[in-house]
Amino acid sequence: MYKVIYAIIVTIASFLGLRAQEFQGMAVYESKSSTSDFKTRMEGNKDMTPDMQKMIEERMKKMFEKTFILNFDKSTSIYKEEEKLEATGQAGGGMRIMNAMSGGGGTYYKNVKEKTYTVDKDFMGKEFLVKDSLPSLKWKMEAETRVIGGYTCYKATAIKAASATDFRNFRPKKEEAKKQGTEKADDKAASDKKTNFMDAIELPKEVTITAWYTPEIPVSQGPEGYWGLPGLILEVNDGKTTILCSKIVLNPKEKIEIKALTKGKVVSQKEYDDDVIKKMEEWREMNQGRGGSSTGTFRIGG
């Protein structure tokens, strides 16, 4: 109990200190999602050569290991992937869809005072501007603490519904479920299922979130869409994804303008999700129509 009381005192003292100045901060986050399950499935696929497996592993690493920058003040923030120079246009339809669904791309603007967010998305050649209300997670405050980057952090947990448009939430299907599905299908359908990547994965209903926040930086901000705690969130464990803060700069000499972008077709989160899911189904049917993929798991080309 005394730890919680101490956290409240630190939060109040820090907040009063920030009111006397135009506060702004910058935090660097490293995001990494586990791909061990998919790697195990690839290793057991007799139709996949070592070169194919290596190529897929490298592309998945690029999708699931990224660096992001969060610029924030007392009520707003911008979260964006660190820009890197690399070749584009090499991936086919399936990889482009998964790239768009792996947590990257776009500038994520949050206004915790108004409880709204705006994020620009470039999906399959179309520009969208998703504007909606911030998700309100029911955080359970814990007394457990740890130190991250020199800051004392407190633990908080929550449960949220898994997003059908975030590929990081997907899991390989259990062998038993896949077997039952194959037994019920005819020979052709079974063959398609065997070589279609989207038929080999499933989406859990819920994801458990564990966050570590520090009252020493009393802003209700965090990476991606995470917010709502009495301090900056320095680490998030979201299912199989971990987002960890590796660097913090408070009151940098060069401040940036924190504002939402305005370019793109304005849609709600549901409207955007529906469009992505529709494209996923179209790609899935097209892939089945071609009789599977050259890799035996999913199509790398167009």
Among 95, 96, 108, residue whose Cα is nearest residue 29: 108
Quick one: pLDDT at residue 254?
86
Q: In this structure, what are the phi and psi dihedrals at residue 225, rounded to the nearest 5 degrees?
A: -95, 15
Quick one: pLDDT at residue 59?
65
At 27, list the tokens. Answer: 């935090």
Quick one: pLDDT at residue 296?
40
Quick one: pLDDT at residue 216?
97
> Domains of the chain: which residue ranges?
2-289
Quick one: pLDDT at residue 280?
78
Cβ atoms of 209 and 202 within 8 Å: the answer is no
225: Cβ contacts below 8 Å, ≥ 6 apart: 108, 110, 117, 134, 135
Quick one: pLDDT at residue 279?
82
Among 236, 242, 175, residue whose Cα is nearest residue 202: 175
CB atoms within 10 A of CB 10: 18
What's the CA gap between 110 and 106, in Å, rounded? 13
pLDDT tens, the chain, 302 aa long: 555 555 555 555 455 544 545 789 999 999 987 755 555 555 555 566 676 666 666 666 666 689 999 999 999 999 999 876 554 444 444 555 555 555 556 899 999 999 999 999 888 778 999 999 998 899 999 999 999 999 999 999 999 987 777 767 666 666 544 455 555 555 544 444 444 555 666 767 888 999 999 999 999 999 999 999 999 999 999 878 899 999 999 999 888 999 998 989 999 999 998 988 888 788 777 766 554 444 444 433 33
At 235, list the tokens. Answer: 């680490």
